[in-house]
Structure 1
Amino acid sequence: MSASLYNIGLTGLNAAQAGLLTTSHNISNAGTTGYSRQSVVQSTNPALFTGAGFFGEGTKVDTVKRAYNGFLTNQVLAAETKFTEYDTYDTEISQIDNMLADSTVGLTPALASFFGGVQEVAANPSSIPARQSMISTAQSLVARFQNLSERLNDVRSGVESQIKETVSAIGTYAKEIAEMNHKIAVAQQAGSAQPANDLLDTRDQLIKELNQLTRVSTATGSDGSLSVFIGTGQPLVVGTVATTLDAQPSSSDPHRFNVNIITTSGNAITIPESLLGGGKLGGLLAMRSGSLDAAQNQLGLVAIGISTTFNAQHQLGQDLNGNLGTNFFTPPAVSVERFATASTTSPDVQFADISKLTGDDYKLTFTDTTGGYSLTRVSDGASVTAASVGLTITPAATSMVGDSFMILPTRNAAANIGVSISDTRMVAAAAPITSAATSSNRGTGSITAPVVGSTADLASFGTSASPLKLTYSAGNLSGFPASLPVTYTPLGGSPVTLAAPVASIPYSSGMSISVGGVSFSMTGAIQDEDTFTVGPNSQGVSDSRNAVLMGNLQTTKVLLSAGGQPSATFQSVYSQLVSAVGNKAREVSVNRDAQESLVEQATNAQQSVAGVNLDEEAANLIRYQQAYQAAGKVMSIASKLFDQVLALGQ
């Protein structure tokens, strides 16, 4: 019995020693990131049966178990990956929000200053300083567009760089997790399937850090290995094999990185952005497509709106040299990027109706050899027609079936707008057509200043020919050009259009008349033989009619067609952009703060199970120390009893 007593004491000593070692390990790693508290699991040895009953044979250590709760751990992972996504989005969009809304570097003050310069010319059309001020404020406006575009491009460069770095880091984590799977399998196989707790903690910490880069899900294999999936189920690690990820420039936009899976044969398969939510990568991708693209496109839309409409009106004016106006701004072109093409040429894409532009991007794919194509909106995959989105598309002669192009109507417009005029005399403030009642008229009839609808109308009417002379006789007006149609509208009546040649039309006070697109109104009582002239403006130095019309563009709705009519001014489109970015920034910030609270709650719950409590461990030290001492006492008594038995035989 004494030998059995010794063995029982020895088992207790070993168990207490295991408890001391484990407790000391817990205390030493209390500050180790990712460490899970460990505890010794004991059970009794099988009892010894005798005629007097079953006698205990002491204890044994079954295993060292780590305090791990899969449900709580997954809650932490879910909260953290969403928090990191919002945090990344918040950091990046704050740069855009602060920039666009800034009263000194934003577009609003530059727009106001430019149109103030236009109004100054309208008030003093012959003033060279006023004209110079208009050109200078236009140059400042263009510089503001270009500066905002450059800063947005800087944000884009930073985002793209971070995407590449993040994808590289994800690949590194994948390799480390695959290696850790191998180490765990080897360790547990060598240890009779006992859990390799510290290695498991290390792997869990790698998963946690990877999850902060992109959302992950896991599945445990029969050998203890952990398969890792990203996005919506794309395998990243399967057992000891890690998938190779790479960020490569998009074929449609070399400045934009796609996330690709590299197959064993070396082929790259692009993972759609919509499948890569969560974590830093998800935040970067969401911010790029959801806010950055929209900001650049909307800013470009304003640049296109100003340059196109202002140029169109400026071309309807007359400068101090007596010439018709030219482009005041350098008009931005539609950006077309080639990808997946067999030919080396690109289609010609032009703006047709800027009021139908929306700030969207499109994918163009040729479907037959006669120039047939499909046009798809990138944001939602909807099929559209070129006309419905304000574009005209002319295929290149060498276009081939399957050729695809990315059309970015407004993306680069803010960077490419410029001022085309530097000579103050070339500001077309005057109207090229004027009208007058002949001084010898006997009646009280008057005629308004003509309004020209387009450069085509101006060309058809002519600006160098002799003035049109309208003569009143017996209730009718005559003298219209033989080559031009005439439309007249009695006051309160409906338009009447007459094809050329038009001999005469009936006169009524308050009527409006359009001759080849040049419109004017006539009022008053006209006497027979009274005449009125409509013709080229030879006294345009003090004429500001076109400058007034250019100034009116500030408050004219020319963009974002709704119900077939433009619904927004330049300023309102920019204000919508500032508001949208600001609202998104606030939304992301609120979500970030809420998610941070969820992370804290989930972490506290998880740490209440897995964390090391030093007070508890100190108590365990005392408990195991006492158990160790007691077991040693048992062994000491067993030894003394054995010595006494030996002494009896002497």
Structure 2
Amino acid sequence: MGSSLFSIGLTGLNAAQAGLVVTSHNISNAGTTGYSRQSTVQSTNPALFTGAGFFGEGTKVDTVKRAYDSYLTNQVLSAQTKFSEYDTYSNEISQIDNMLADPTTGLTPAVASFFEGVQEVAANPASVPARQSMLSTAQSLVARFQNLSSRINDVRSGVETQVKNTVSEISSYASQIAEMNHKIAVAQQAGSAQPANDLLDTRDRLINELNQLTRVSTTTDSSGSMSVFIGTGQPLVVGTVATKLEAQASPSDPTRNVVNIITQGGAITVPENLLGGGKLGGLLAMRSGSLDSAQNQLGLIAVGLSSAFNSQHLLGQDLNGNLGTNFFSNPTVAVQRYNSATTATPDVQFSDITKLTGDDYKLTFTDTTGGYTLSRVSDGASVTAASVGLTVTPPAVSKVGDSFQILPTRYAASNISVAISDTRMVAAAAPIAAAATASNLGTAAISAPVLSSTTNLASFGTTAAPLKLTYSGGSLSGFPATLPVTYTPLNGSPVTVAAPAASIPYSSGMSVSVGGVSFTLTGAMQDNDSFTLGPNAGGVSDSRNAVLLGSLQTTKTLLSANGQPSATFNSVYSQLVSAVGNKAREVEVNRDAQESLANQAVQAQQSVAGVNIDEEAANLIRYQQAYQAAGKVMSIASKLFDQVLALGQ
């Protein structure tokens, strides 16, 4: 009996000691990130059967269990990866939002200042200081475009650097988790399949940190090895094998990093839409959803303004008597090879700026003679070049499957520049002048001509012998024999008369268009009254074209809707500022909400797995008393044994 009692006391002593060790371990790691509270699991030793019944044999410690709830852990992972994604997105987009919306450094004041310079020339076309002011404000506008684009490029560079570093971190975590799987398998096999709690906590901590970089999901096999998947199920760790990820330059855009899986056969690109969640998901979503769009829309304004202004400036006449040239550099379409190594690059040009949307496109050749398909990058929808304001001239020979990325407006803001520096080259005047003959007996008058084309200016004669329109018998004649004439009576519909029999009936208030020159005739006419249309010899004080240039500020020239332009330069920029601001606010709200959810999930998980110091202090006292009681049992057993020995003396 004494021996049995001693053994029972010893089991109690060992169990209490194990409880003290585990409790001390909990207290020591109360502040350790990722630590899960541990506790001993005890059971009763098999009882000893005797004729008087079963007598207990004390207790045993079956295992040390960590407080772990897979459901709560998955909730934490889900909430934290979304918070990390929103937080990253918010931090990055706020930089663009602050820049575009700034009333001083934004584009709106620069556009307003430039058109004030144009209006000054319209008011004083012969003034050299006014012309110099116009060129200076144009340079300031160009600098603002370039500065905004440069700042966006800085943000883009920062995003690309973070993408590269984040992918490197993900790959590093994969290696650490694979190594931890190996350690856990070895430890648990060596310990009769007892859980390696501290190693399991370390692995969970690594997965939690990985999850904040990119969304992960996990599965655990019977050996305790955990497989980790990212995105929508791409394997990152399988057992003790880790997949190597690397961020590399995109084949279609060397300035853009894509995520590649590195295999023995080469690199396999993981589509961006498969990599959601975490910091990486936030960076990729911000880059494709806001950064690209902001730079493209800024470029759209640069293309629209420079193209519209150039088109009108070409219709004017400068102080040297020459037709206007491009005021801004001519915008070009960027075409980048995607997977083509053999096919010559197609020639892509702007055809109608009103149809530009700020989207990017992918051109893929479908045959060997230049046949191709064109799709929008954002959603993969098929489009035609004409419907998006472009013309595509493919090479004569192509290879099926070769692809190119078309970026119509991406670099327009950084490439815009002022094309003239001589104040005399500002085309403020119109090249065609109109006048009534001094000998006219009627009261009719002709308006200042407006040009839509300079192609047929030679048809209007020379300064010495201008084109002469003569009224007789109710009709006007004398139009160029090679050009059709379109006239529109007041409150009437347009009528076209083919050349050379171009004689049109006259009515007061009618408008006439011939060879790209339009004018209006009003008043009463008498036979032999005439009007001349010819080169503008005295255009120094003429501001007709400058007035038209100034009106472009409020003219709808972009974003065609139902076949007609629907937006001005300023309204497109306002839409850009609004879109970025709304997205920034949306992401900020989602971030704050997700942070609250993440905190709640962590609190719920910690209520199960976290260390409560008060509770552990109580456990210390409990195990201490159990230890002392077990020691007392052993002390009594020892005394009883001594008494038995004394009986034999």
State whether residues 465 and 536 of structure 1, in contact with CA within 8 Å, keep that contact through their aligned partners in structure 2.
Answer: no
1:313 aligns with 2:312: yes
Aligned-residue offset at 1:257: 0.7
Deviates more, 1:458-467 or 1:81-90: 458-467
Show the counterpart of 2:292.
Answer: 293
Show the counterpart of 2:168.
Answer: 168
User: Residue 472 of structure 1 aligns to which amino acid in structure 2?
Assistant: Y
Aligned-residue offset at 1:269: 1.3
State whether residues 455 and 515 of structure 2, in contact with CA within 8 Å, keep that contact through their aligned partners in structure 1.
Answer: no
1:216 aligns with 2:235: no
Show the counterpart of 2:252.
Answer: 252
1:196 aligns with 2:196: yes
Show the counterpart of 1:609.
Answer: 608
State whether residues 461 and 516 of structure 1, in contact with CA within 8 Å, keep that contact through their aligned partners in structure 2.
Answer: no
Q: Structure 1, residues 103-123: CA drift from partner, whole Å, max 9, x if none?
A: 111100000000000000000
Show the counterpart of 2:488.
Answer: 489
Aligned-residue offset at 1:456: 3.1
Q: Structure 1, residues 463-504: CA drift from partner, whole Å, max 9, x if none?
A: 778311111111111111111111111111121111111342
Q: Structure 1, residues 560-599: CA drift from partner, whole Å, max 9, x if none?
A: 0111111000000011000000000000000000000001
The correspondence of residues 52-201 of structure 1 with structure 2, limited to 5 A, is: 52-201=52-201
Change beyond 3 A, Cα 1:505–1:109: same
State whether residues 13 and 626 of structure 2, in contact with CA within 8 Å, keep that contact through their aligned partners in structure 1.
Answer: yes
User: Residue 366 of structure 1 aligns to which amino acid in structure 2?
Assistant: F
Change beyond 3 A, Cα 1:486–1:597: same
State whether residues 316 and 458 of structure 1, in contact with CA within 8 Å, keep that contact through their aligned partners in structure 2.
Answer: no
Aligned-residue offset at 1:49: 1.2
User: Residue 469 of structure 2 aligns to which amino acid in structure 1?
Assistant: L
State whether residues 312 and 454 of structure 1, in contact with CA within 8 Å, keep that contact through their aligned partners in structure 2.
Answer: no
State whether residues 295 and 577 of structure 1, in contact with CA within 8 Å, keep that contact through their aligned partners in structure 2.
Answer: yes
Q: Structure 1, residues 356-400: CA drift from partner, whole Å, max 9, x if none?
A: 100000011111122110101100001111001000011124433
Change beyond 3 A, Cα 1:461–1:76: farther
Q: Structure 1, residues 108-146: CA drift from partner, whole Å, max 9, x if none?
A: 000000000000000000010000000000000000000
Any runs of at least 4 consecutive aligned residues in structure 1 with deviations exceeding 4 A, and if so which?
A: 457-465
The correspondence of residues 386-425 of structure 1 with structure 2, limited to 5 A, is: 386-425=385-424
Show the counterpart of 1:584.
Answer: 583
In structure 2, what is the Cα distance between the partners aligned to 1:187 and 1:346? Answer: 60
Deviates more, 1:45-54 or 1:603-612: 45-54
Change beyond 3 A, Cα 1:605–1:464: farther
In structure 1, what is the Cα distance between the partners aligned to 2:273 and 2:461? Answer: 57
Aligned-residue offset at 1:267: 1.6
User: Residue 368 of structure 2 aligns to which amino acid in structure 1?
Assistant: T
User: Residue 449 of structure 1 aligns to which amino acid in structure 2?
Assistant: A
1:594 aligns with 2:616: no
Q: How many residues align?
A: 649
Show the counterpart of 1:281.
Answer: 280
In structure 2, what is the Cα distance between the partners aligned to 1:579 and 1:77? Answer: 33
Show the counterpart of 2:48.
Answer: 48
Show the counterpart of 2:453.
Answer: 454
The correspondence of residues 333-344 of structure 1 with structure 2, limited to 5 A, is: 333-343=332-342
User: Residue 552 of structure 1 aligns to which amino acid in structure 2?
Assistant: S
Deviates more, 1:192-201 or 1:457-466: 457-466
In structure 2, what is the Cα distance between the partners aligned to 1:570 and 1:456? Answer: 28
Partner secondary structure for residue 291 of structure 1: helix
Change beyond 3 A, Cα 1:617–1:465: farther
In structure 2, what is the Cα distance between the partners aligned to 1:347 and 1:496? Answer: 41
In structure 2, what is the Cα distance between the partners aligned to 1:332 and 1:20? Answer: 77
Partner secondary structure for residue 455 of structure 1: coil
In structure 1, what is the Cα distance between the partners aligned to 2:249 and 2:191? Answer: 47
Q: Structure 1, residues 508-540: CA drift from partner, whole Å, max 9, x if none?
A: 111111111211110101011111111110110
1:536 aligns with 2:535: yes
Segments of 5+ residues of structure 1 without an aligned counterpart are none
Partner secondary structure for residue 471 of structure 1: strand
In structure 2, what is the Cα distance between the partners aligned to 1:442 and 1:241? Answer: 100
The TM-score normalised by the length of structure 2 is 0.99
User: Residue 586 of structure 2 aligns to which amino acid in structure 1?
Assistant: E
Aligned-residue offset at 1:246: 1.0
In structure 2, what is the Cα distance between the partners aligned to 1:509 and 1:384? Answer: 47
User: Residue 603 of structure 1 aligns to which amino acid in structure 2?
Assistant: V
User: Residue 307 of structure 2 aligns to which amino acid in structure 1?
Assistant: T
Partner secondary structure for residue 140 of structure 2: helix
Change beyond 3 A, Cα 1:462–1:157: farther
Aligned-residue offset at 1:354: 0.4
In structure 2, what is the Cα distance between the partners aligned to 1:351 and 1:427? Answer: 24
Change beyond 3 A, Cα 1:345–1:271: same
Partner secondary structure for residue 330 of structure 1: coil
In structure 1, what is the Cα distance between the partners aligned to 2:502 and 2:624? Answer: 122
Show the counterpart of 1:322.
Answer: 321
State whether residues 386 and 393 of structure 1, in contact with CA within 8 Å, keep that contact through their aligned partners in structure 2.
Answer: yes
Show the counterpart of 2:517.
Answer: 518
In structure 1, what is the Cα distance between the partners aligned to 2:436 and 2:460? Answer: 19
State whether residues 497 and 504 of structure 2, in contact with CA within 8 Å, keep that contact through their aligned partners in structure 1.
Answer: no
Task: Name the % identity.
Answer: 82
State whether residues 481 and 502 of structure 1, in contact with CA within 8 Å, keep that contact through their aligned partners in structure 2.
Answer: no
Deviates more, 1:348-357 or 1:500-509: 500-509
State whether residues 363 and 406 of structure 1, in contact with CA within 8 Å, keep that contact through their aligned partners in structure 2.
Answer: yes
State whether residues 461 and 518 of structure 1, in contact with CA within 8 Å, keep that contact through their aligned partners in structure 2.
Answer: no
User: Residue 473 of structure 1 aligns to which amino acid in structure 2?
Assistant: S
Partner secondary structure for residue 455 of structure 2: helix
In structure 1, what is the Cα distance between the partners aligned to 2:323 and 2:463? Answer: 11
User: Residue 395 of structure 1 aligns to which amino acid in structure 2?
Assistant: P
In structure 1, what is the Cα distance between the partners aligned to 2:406 and 2:440? Answer: 59
State whether residues 463 and 537 of structure 2, in contact with CA within 8 Å, keep that contact through their aligned partners in structure 1.
Answer: no
1:504 aligns with 2:503: yes
Change beyond 3 A, Cα 1:646–1:484: same
In structure 2, what is the Cα distance between the partners aligned to 1:31 and 1:165? Answer: 29
In structure 1, what is the Cα distance between the partners aligned to 2:87 and 2:438? Answer: 75
Show the counterpart of 2:38.
Answer: 38
In structure 1, what is the Cα distance between the partners aligned to 2:373 and 2:9? Answer: 85
In structure 1, what is the Cα distance between the partners aligned to 2:115 and 2:394? Answer: 39
In structure 2, what is the Cα distance between the partners aligned to 1:563 and 1:479? Answer: 39
State whether residues 466 and 536 of structure 1, in contact with CA within 8 Å, keep that contact through their aligned partners in structure 2.
Answer: no
Show the counterpart of 1:642.
Answer: 641
Change beyond 3 A, Cα 1:382–1:458: farther
Aligned-residue offset at 1:100: 0.4
Q: Structure 1, residues 325-376: CA drift from partner, whole Å, max 9, x if none?
A: 0000002210000121132631110000000100000011111122110101
In structure 1, what is the Cα distance between the partners aligned to 2:415 and 2:295? Answer: 12
Show the counterpart of 2:564.
Answer: 565
Aligned-residue offset at 1:648: 1.5
State whether residues 111 and 141 of structure 1, in contact with CA within 8 Å, keep that contact through their aligned partners in structure 2.
Answer: yes
Change beyond 3 A, Cα 1:202–1:459: farther
State whether residues 460 and 466 of structure 2, in contact with CA within 8 Å, keep that contact through their aligned partners in structure 1.
Answer: no
Aligned-residue offset at 1:461: 5.2
Q: Structure 1, residues 59-97: CA drift from partner, whole Å, max 9, x if none?
A: 000100000011111101000000000000000000000
Segments of 5+ residues of structure 2 without an aligned counterpart are none
